[in-house]
Structure 1
Amino acid sequence: MAYIIGIILAIIVIIIIGLILRKRVYDAVDRHESWKLDIMNRNIAAEIARMKNLNLSGETKEKFDVWKDRWEYIVTKELPDIEEYLFDAEEAADRYRFPTANKTIRKIGQALQAIEADIEKIIIELEELLQTEEKSRKEVEQLQPIIKELRKKLSQNRYQYDKAEVRFDVELDDLEETLNNYYELVQSGSYTEAKEIVDQLNVRIDNLENDLNEFPEIYRLCKRDLPAQLDDLYAGVKRMKKDGYRVDYLGFEKEINEYHSRLLDFVRSLEKIGSEEVKAALPEIEERIKEMYQLLEKEAIAKNYLETKMPGYEQTLQALSDHFLRTKQDVDQLRDAYYFEDSDMEKYLTLEKMIDQLKMQAEELKDDLGNNELAHSALRSRLEEGYNQLEILQEEHEQFKKRVSNLRKDELEAKEKLTEMRKQIQRTHRKLKQSNIPGVPTYIWNLIESAIEKNDRVFQALEKQPLDIAKVQQALSQANQAVEEATQKTDVMLEQAHLTEQVIQYANRYRSSYPLLAAKLLEAERLFRSNEYEQALEQAVAAVEEVEPGAIKKIEENQAALVHM
């Protein structure tokens, strides 16, 4: 029983699946039927009929026939065939032959897509043809008045175009002939070729219009303005040569003649060919003419500069030479009394050499001024360089003079310093004598003797001939350091001795009460009498601070107060 029920359920499932699949086929058939009807209802014939407004001949007639035949074939053959295929698909579905039905539907879809592609191609090509015809027609309507206007402009301004009028007339005739060719192509239905003609006309008319507008100015430049400028330039060169300016080296006369020849060629080219090549070359010629004027002006300015500056340069150079001669005499005298560093002598000899060299260059420049083959602009550069070198030499000479002058100044300052240091040593001696201390420590006498010895070395360095100021300053520095050290340490030693006396006197009040303090004070007094003032002060301070902390600070404050009274 269960087996029978299973078979029945399976049959039911198969029937349901079959119904679903058949429904899908019916739906696909309905969609393709609607697609086919949509194509049939399109008024493609009316679209194609729009071509009847054109000249149906030649290329246009061929396209019209191809598109018309194709649409008729679609309507009379392909769409009915598709209708048969749709019936076949439905019949296969009714018989549950779904693979056959699906295959037929795919075939129908491919056919419809091909038809759609063909229709789209027809519409696109049709629109392109109609737009091409319309655009060309409108452009031609605009071009005709332009050609007439250009011919009118040429006729009314013939004097501006001179012999080139013939060339422009021929070009206008050719444009009109090309325009006639356009109408012939339209008449024969060759709208694509006609559009190419219109495109060419647009470019040629633009070029001709630009040429007509630019020609008068370019022609005037080539025939009158630039030749006149070249003539003026040539006359200016001649005048400058006559007035003594050196312009032969520039080679302008030959270059001007070459430009005249080129401009004649340009005029002939403008009259017979066109202005493109000429227009590109003219800026170069105009720029070169300006450049030639600038070079001539530069030469004139250079001549004036040389005539104005050369005398002053010679005078300044001679003045520097005279000043250096006096410096040289000073150096010769000072070399007997002073020692010159190698660097100073090297600078001195370099200055002498450079001044001689500059004088030689000035003589050469003066001789070259009389040479008519040398350009003033080149000579000016040499004079300017000479001025620069002269300024440098003047500055270096002043620096050297200061260096020489400083030799005497350094000697006087060294002698003054030596005198001051000797006085400082004497003052230190007086301090020691007036100090009433038991004696002077040996190290103090050693410092004073060392300072005196180093002062003697300064004196000996000053007495040497020639005087080596560098060694003098070295000895002076060492002596000054020794004097400062002796003075400073003497002052410290005297201060220690005086303070030791003050501390011992202050501590005497505790001597009877503190036996240990009394013993330490006796040791401090012994050290004091032995000239050991620093150790004596330390011993006395330690003894008092044990009995009365802070006593030393009080003693120092009292001593400072007495000093300021």
Structure 2
Amino acid sequence: MYCFFSLFLFNWSVLLGAIIINKYLKNVISSLHDDLAKLDDPLIAEDIDRLDKMDLAGASLERFSKDRKNYNRIFSEDVTKSLELLNNAIAANESYKLYTAYEIVKQVKPKVQEIGTQVLALQKGFMELLKFTRDNKLQLDALKKQYDDKRKYILSTSYDYSLALEALEDELHAIGCQFESVKNLTIQGDHVEAKRVLQKIRSAITKLEDELPLVKKTSSELLDIFPEQLTEISTTYKSMLKNKFSIVEIDICSTVKQLRNSIEESKKLVSQLKLKDADSKNHSIKETIDKCYDILTKEYKAKAFVDQHQAKIVKALTHTITNSVKLIKNLEHIDKSYELTHGELDEVRGLSSRIQHLNSEFDVDCQKVSDGGVVYSSIEQKWHKLIDEIIKTDERENKIFKDVDGLYDGEKIANASIEKFKQNVSLIYRKMERRNLPGKPDSFLQLYTLVVNEIAKTADKLDQVRINLEEISHELIQIQNDIDRLEQDTKEILDSADLVELTMQYSNKYANRNDIIHANKVAYDLYNNKYEYKEALDILAAAIEKVEPGSYKRIESDYYKK
């Protein structure tokens, strides 16, 4: 009983599996059948019918014929064969020959996918052919309008393009022939070739558009601007020659002739539409014309400068020469009484000689200007330098005059300083005398003697017929420094002497101390016999500080407060 039940379950499982596979295969076969049915798209048939009625030719016809043949073959052979196989698979599946049905489906499925890909590619090709036709028509209309507009514009403004008109008309004619070619190819149905020719037309029109502005620019320069400028340059140059100008920087006549030849060469380049070469040549022509203008303008301006400044320079030179002569005489007179230590007289004589030389050269230039045929720009450049030299000479001579003019005052100041120094030294000495000290230190007497001798020596120099004020000025500074030092030393001597007396009086508090007694004895000898007041104070101060720290500082502080 158990074996029977197991066998029943096994048979039931096999039957259930077969039913599931049968249903799966049925669905797959149905799906493949639908895919093949969808490939028969009426829109593709309409595209083929439209293309067939267009009377295609050439590459278009060749491509269409090939694609249509493949399309028909796919449906007559591949699709038909695939449908037959699918019908066999249906029959096998209905008879539950599941393995046979599966093998057929396995064979058909990739074939249906391949057919679908091929049909899609062919459909795209048919659509491209139709698009070529539409696009070609749109492009043709747009390019034809663009061409007609350019042709009308060139003809209506022919003067602007006259140099290259023949070459431009040749280009227009060539483009017109290409339009005819497109028209014929379209009539013949060769839309692929027509598209290629349209691309050539577009490039040709773009080239024409790029050429027109450059043709207009170069033609305007060659026909109008340059000839007018050369005429103006020639006329101006002739007028300048009549007015006794001389231009040596460039040969105007030869240059104008060369420029006219260059213009003709550039015209030929434009007529051949070698526009880059023509534009480059025009640039060179323009630079040379500008150079001619610059030279003529420079000479005109230079003449104006010469005319305006000739009389002014005459006046300036006369003024400078007169001042130089006066200054030399003044310096020669001063040199009798004062030593001119910086070579002022020789310098002014040199400046005067230079100005005289420049004046002679200026006279020569003025004569050349009067005779005519002078290069005014050279004269202007030379006179600018002359004006600078006149200004510098005047400035230098004025400074020298101011410097030597102060010599008289300097002598007075020096004499007054000597008198003042004598008084100051006398006051210092009397101050020392009034103190009634035992004697005067050697250092004081040496410095005092030095100062007195310095004053006498400098006073003697001031009494000479010819004096060197610069040297005397240095000596006066040194004397003042020495008097300041003498005055400071005198003050220190007197202060030291006073402090010695005050400190000795204070030291009486410690009269019984041997060290104080000894210090007083030494200080007394220095004070009364050797007149070394500062040293005497140092010995007393050290001794009293040792006995009573801070005591000398108090004595000194009280003294200076009083």
What is the TM-score normalised by the length of structure 1? 0.71
Counterparts of 1:390-409 in structure 2 under 5 Å?
390-405=390-405
- Please name the residue that 1:527 is paired with: 526
Q: Is the 8 A contact 2:244 2:374 kept in 1?
A: no
SS of the residue aligned with 1:484? helix
- Please name the residue that 1:98 is paired with: none
Shift of 1:524: 3.5
Shift of 1:352: 4.6
- Please name the residue that 1:431 is paired with: 431
Q: Is the 8 A contact 1:503 1:540 kept in 2?
A: yes
SS of the residue aligned with 1:439? coil
- Please name the residue that 1:10 is paired with: none
> Which residue type is aligned with residue 358 of structure 2?
L
Residues 1:441 and 2:441 are matched in the alignment: yes
Counterparts of 1:317-356 in structure 2 under 5 Å?
317-341=317-341, 347-348=347-348, 351-352=351-352, 354-356=354-356
Counterparts of 1:116-515 in structure 2 under 5 Å?
132-153=132-153, 171-208=171-208, 222-223=222-223, 227-246=227-246, 250-256=250-256, 259=259, 276=275, 292-341=292-341, 347-348=347-348, 351-352=351-352, 354-370=354-370, 372-405=372-405, 412-459=412-459, 467-468=467-468, 471-508=471-508, 510=509
5+ residue gaps in structure 1? 1-29, 88-93, 95-100
Shift of 1:434: 1.0
> Which residue type is aligned with residue 146 of structure 1?
Q
- For residues 192-238 of structure 1, give each alpha carbon's deviation from its aligned partner in whole angstroms, at most 9, with x where no partner exists: 43233223322433455676788778766654565445444433333
- For residues 335-370 of structure 1, give each alpha carbon's deviation from its aligned partner in whole angstroms, at most 9, with x where no partner exists: 555555577677556535543443343234324324
- Please name the residue that 2:23 is paired with: none
> Which residue type is aligned with residue 446 of structure 1?
Q
Question: CA 1:494/1:212 → structure 2, altered by over 3 Å: closer, same or farther?
Answer: closer
SS of the residue aligned with 2:373? coil
> Which residue type is aligned with residue 375 of structure 2?
A
- Please name the residue that 1:61 is paired with: 61
Question: CA 1:245/1:78 → structure 2, altered by over 3 Å: closer, same or farther?
Answer: farther
Question: CA 1:321/1:47 → structure 2, altered by over 3 Å: closer, same or farther?
Answer: farther
SS of the residue aligned with 1:429? helix
Shift of 1:254: 4.6
Give the distance between the partners of 1:112 and 1:384, measured in 2 at CA: 102
Give the distance between the partners of 1:427 and 1:338, measured in 2 at CA: 32
Give the distance between the partners of 2:249 and 2:513, measured in 1 at CA: 116
Shift of 1:556: 4.3
SS of the residue aligned with 2:439? coil
Give the distance between the partners of 1:46 and 1:350, measured in 2 at CA: 113
- For residues 245-265 of structure 1, give each alpha carbon's deviation from its aligned partner in whole angstroms, at most 9, with x where no partner exists: 445865444544555566567
Q: Is the 8 A contact 2:60 2:192 kept in 1?
A: no
- For residues 300-333 of structure 1, give each alpha carbon's deviation from its aligned partner in whole angstroms, at most 9, with x where no partner exists: 2211210110221122123222222233334444
Give the distance between the partners of 1:420 and 1:250, measured in 2 at CA: 76
Residue range with higher mean Cα deviation, 227-236 or 295-304: 227-236
Give the distance between the partners of 1:177 and 1:453, measured in 2 at CA: 122
- Please name the residue that 1:13 is paired with: none
Question: CA 1:489/1:187 → structure 2, altered by over 3 Å: closer, same or farther?
Answer: same
Give the distance between the partners of 2:149 and 2:443, measured in 1 at CA: 122
What is the TM-score normalised by the length of structure 2? 0.71
Question: CA 1:150/1:475 → structure 2, altered by over 3 Å: closer, same or farther?
Answer: closer
Question: CA 1:191/1:516 → structure 2, altered by over 3 Å: closer, same or farther?
Answer: same
Shift of 1:376: 1.3
Q: Is the 8 A contact 1:48 1:64 kept in 2?
A: no
- For residues 254-278 of structure 1, give each alpha carbon's deviation from its aligned partner in whole angstroms, at most 9, with x where no partner exists: 54455556656777877x6559466
- Please name the residue that 1:5 is paired with: none
Q: Is the 8 A contact 1:175 1:201 kept in 2?
A: yes
Q: Is the 8 A contact 1:497 1:533 kept in 2?
A: yes
SS of the residue aligned with 1:56? coil
SS of the residue aligned with 2:56? coil
Q: Is the 8 A contact 1:317 1:390 kept in 2?
A: yes
Give the distance between the partners of 1:309 and 1:199, measured in 2 at CA: 72
Give the distance between the partners of 1:505 and 1:403, measured in 2 at CA: 61
Give the distance between the partners of 2:337 and 2:502, measured in 1 at CA: 56
Q: Is the 8 A contact 1:59 1:190 kept in 2?
A: yes
Q: Is the 8 A contact 2:414 2:476 kept in 1?
A: yes
Give the distance between the partners of 1:50 and 1:169, measured in 2 at CA: 42
What is the identity percentage for the equivalent residue pairs of Structure 1 and Structure 2?
A: 18
- For residues 412-468 of structure 1, give each alpha carbon's deviation from its aligned partner in whole angstroms, at most 9, with x where no partner exists: 554444443333322221112111111111121122223334444545665678655
Q: Is the 8 A contact 1:249 1:373 kept in 2?
A: no
Shift of 1:561: 5.0
Q: Is the 8 A contact 1:36 1:79 kept in 2?
A: no
Counterparts of 1:87-102 in structure 2 under 5 Å?
none
Shift of 1:492: 0.6
5+ residue gaps in structure 2? 1-26, 90-98
Give the distance between the partners of 1:39 and 1:349, measured in 2 at CA: 124
Question: CA 1:160/1:502 → structure 2, altered by over 3 Å: closer, same or farther?
Answer: closer
Give the distance between the partners of 2:261 and 2:33, measured in 1 at CA: 80
> Which residue type is aligned with residue 380 of structure 1?
E
- For residues 96-127 of structure 1, give each alpha carbon's deviation from its aligned partner in whole angstroms, at most 9, with x where no partner exists: xxxxx9xxx9xx99x99999998898788777
Q: Is the 8 A contact 1:299 1:377 kept in 2?
A: yes
Give the distance between the partners of 1:127 and 1:351, measured in 2 at CA: 102
- For residues 67-107 of structure 1, give each alpha carbon's deviation from its aligned partner in whole angstroms, at most 9, with x where no partner exists: 455567777579989x99xx9xxxxxx9xxxxxx9xxx9xx
Q: Is the 8 A contact 2:324 2:348 kept in 1?
A: no
Give the distance between the partners of 1:113 and 1:520, measured in 2 at CA: 139
SS of the residue aligned with 1:317? helix
Q: Is the 8 A contact 1:527 1:533 kept in 2?
A: yes
Question: CA 1:229/1:545 → structure 2, altered by over 3 Å: closer, same or farther?
Answer: closer
Give the distance between the partners of 2:521 and 2:337, measured in 1 at CA: 62
- For residues 364-397 of structure 1, give each alpha carbon's deviation from its aligned partner in whole angstroms, at most 9, with x where no partner exists: 4324324533321222111112212322232233
- For residues 473-510 of structure 1, give each alpha carbon's deviation from its aligned partner in whole angstroms, at most 9, with x where no partner exists: 554444444333222212111111122223334555x3
Q: Is the 8 A contact 2:328 2:349 kept in 1?
A: no
> Which residue type is aligned with residue 529 of structure 1?
N
Residue range with higher mean Cα deviation, 52-61 or 541-550: 541-550
Q: Is the 8 A contact 1:458 1:479 kept in 2?
A: no
Q: Is the 8 A contact 2:331 2:345 kept in 1?
A: no
- Please name the residue that 1:18 is paired with: none
Give the distance between the partners of 1:392 and 1:297, measured in 2 at CA: 30
Residue range with higher mean Cα deviation, 369-378 or 282-291: 282-291
Shift of 1:139: 1.5
Q: Is the 8 A contact 1:45 1:71 kept in 2?
A: no
- For residues 25-77 of structure 1, give each alpha carbon's deviation from its aligned partner in whole angstroms, at most 9, with x where no partner exists: xxxxx99xx99997996679976984653653211222234445556777757
